[in-house]
Amino acid sequence: MKKLINAVGDVVPDTLRGMAAAHPSLRVDVENRIVVRASGPTPGKVGLVSGGGSGHEPLHAGFVGYGMLDAACPGEVFTSPVPDQMIEATKAVDGGAGVLHIVKNYTGDVLNFEMAAELCAEEGVHVISVLVDDDVAVQDSTYTAGRRGTGATLFVEKMAGALAEQGAPLEAVAAMARTVNERSRSFGVAFSAGTVPAAGKPTFDLGPAEIELGIGIHGEPGRSREPYREAREIVRVALDALNTDLPFSGDMLVMVNGMGATPLMELYLAYGEVDAYLREKGATATRCLVGNYVTSLDMAGFSITTCLLDNELTILWDHPVETPGLRWGR
């Protein structure tokens, strides 16, 4: 394993120290692993808290700032944070209007956030939790832990964050978060697995001519293993799955997201294929993101996340945002 790290056990705190040094707009509590806006809670504004395993950067800490999150709780690599972090973060960002927890649907994240929300309620903080479960690769929700929360988390954080910034009450911000989730879908493909520093070797092995379809973002394998083929066809497999689940139409927001070890060149190449496919279906990508936003360490591969826009969502997407990972209009 060749990784730019000092010691396996220090990866998360060392990363947080770097983020703190790079971004004075963040207040980073390295010991307790909480990242909040340096400006403190905004009185009367709903606070947005998210969190999850580390290794998905810039998600979530990179999305703390004006127009998105108020706090992020980074866990160990690929391991959900613990309730203590979430409770501290929730109290730190409560501006009196309540706090929204944005939770990716992974068993660990769900259980820890659930415990945190109960304890916050006991302490008198009004918390609503919204689950993100956009991953269409999980077909059978009855016999699984349900669809995973992946790329749409960014959309939820962005649009609910914009609404909160405009002074909307907690119930409305939570409803918007649910709406964005319902209108969003994701599908991921891996060319090679990432390596968790503590494990020292890749989470799964893929042959030189194999790809893994329907991966999640925690390094777990996906729904099937298939032969490698050209970009046009791989992108089509992903888009067919998305379009079957929630047909493309009208104005759409599309993210072509790198998993960590795929060049931006290839992501743009893929985006060209996505754009052509949407046109074929009579839909238009009126907004897009191409880059590494919801990563999985050094996994090679990509994911596509789509969202059916309407006027309100487009306005919320365009609303100014100023975070380390996403920034426009300000």
218 a catalytic residue: yes
* Catalytic entry in 56, 60, 101, 319: 56
5 binds other proteins (CB under 8 A): no
Binding status of residue 12 toward other proteins by CB under 8 A:
no
Secondary structure of residue 107 in the 3-state scheme: helix
Site string for other proteins, 141-170 (x = CB under 8 A): --xxx--x----------------------
Q: What are phi and psi of 78, to 5 degrees?
A: 60, 20
Q: How far is the CB of 286 from other proteins (least distance, A)?
A: 32
Q: What is the nearest approach in angstroms of other proteins to the Cβ of residue 270?
A: 23
Identified binder of other proteins from the candidate list 78, 187, 248, 302, rule CB under 8 A:
78
Peptide bond into 58 cis (omega under 30): yes
Of residues 237 and 315, the one with the C-beta less far from other proteins: 237
Whole-angstrom distance, CA of residue 270 vs CA of residue 268: 5
Query: Which uninterrupted H or E stretch holds 88?
Result: helix 83-93
Residue from 1, 121, 198, 231 binding other proteins (CB under 8 A): 198
Between CA 106 and CA 111 the distance in angstroms is 9
Residue closer to other proteins by CB (options 175, 199) is 199
Task: Pick one of 57, 76, 134, 157: the residue that binds other proteins (CB under 8 A).
Answer: 76
Residues 257-276 that bind other proteins (CB under 8 A): none
- What is the DSSP annotation of 239-305? HHHHHHHS---EEEEEEEEE-BSS-HHHHHHHHHHHHHHHHHTTEEEEEEEEE-SS--TTBEEEEEE
Query: Which residue, 203 or 292, has its beta carbon nearer to other proteins?
Result: 203
Burial class of residue 226 in the structure, from the number of CB atoms within 10 Å of its CB (0-12 exposed, 13-18 middle, 19+ buried):
middle
Nearest alpha-carbon partner for 310 in 281, 279, 286: 286
Give Cα 69 to chain centroid, integer Å: 12
Going by C-alpha positions, the residue among 170, 180, 12, 16 that lies closest to residue 93 is: 170
Q: How far is the CB of 217 from other proteins (least distance, A)?
A: 10
Could you tell me which stretch among 64-72, 73-81, 154-162, 267-275 binds other proteins (CB under 8 A)?
73-81
Binding mask 212-251 for other proteins (x = CB under 8 A): ----x-xxxxxx----------------------------
Query: Which is catalytic among the residues 23, 60, 101, 218?
Result: 218
Nearest CA-CA partner of 53 in 33, 36, 69, 27 = 33
| H or E, element range at 111 | helix 107-122
Range 97-136, binding other proteins (CB under 8 A): 106-108, 111-112, 114-115
Please confirm whether the linkage preceding 60 is cis (ω < 30° from 0).
yes
Nearer to other proteins by Cβ, of 138 and 316: the residue is 138
Between CA 125 and CA 146 the distance in angstroms is 28
Candidates 35-43, 164-172, 211-219, 299-307 — which segment interacts with other proteins by CB under 8 A?
A: 211-219
Among 204, 287, 314, 322, binds other proteins (CB under 8 A): 204
Q: Is 192 in the site for other proteins (CB under 8 A)?
A: no
Binding other proteins (rule: CB under 8 A), the pick from 42, 79, 295, 303 is: 79
Based on CB atoms, which residue is closest to other proteins, 102 or 313?
102
Contacts of 166 (CB under 8 A, 6+ apart): 319
Catalytic residues: 56, 218
- Interacting residues with other proteins (CB under 8 A): 53, 75-84, 106-108, 111-112, 114-115, 137-138, 140, 143-145, 148, 196, 198-199, 201, 203-204, 216, 218-223
